[in-house]
Amino acid sequence: MTTLTIEIPEKAGKTLADLVEQLGGKVISIKEDKKTKGAAKKKQVLDDLEESVNFVRLHQEGKVEAKTIEELLDEL
C-alpha cells in the first residue's frame, strides 16, 4: 500500500477523507493547522467557563448542591 501526505484546505478535508475510505483506503491522521487548533482550544475554554458560571448560578439559586473542599480533596 502507498502512503500519501497532502495539504488541502480545511473544508475539503472531510470530503476527501470520506472519498479515500470509499475507495478502500485508510485515513491515518488529519492534522489541523495551528490557527484551527487555537480556535478550538479557545472555544473549549469558553465553553468550560460558561458551564462553570452556570453551575455557580444554579448553586446560588439553591438548585444544585456544591461539593465541600474536603470532598474535593478526598477525590484526589
pLDDT at site 60: 95
How far apart are alpha carbons 20 and 27 in whole angstroms? Answer: 7
SS3 content of the chain, % helix, strand, coil (to 5): 60, 0, 40
**40: Cβ–Cβ under 8 A, 6 or more apart, which residues?**
32
pTM: 0.51
pLDDT at site 33: 64
Question: What are 9-55's pLDDT values in tens digits?
Answer: 877 888 888 888 899 888 887 776 666 677 778 889 999 999 999 99
Give exposure, 9-46, as e/b (b: 16+ Cβ within 10 Å): eeeeeeeeeeeeeeeeeeeeeeeeeeeeeeeeeeeeee
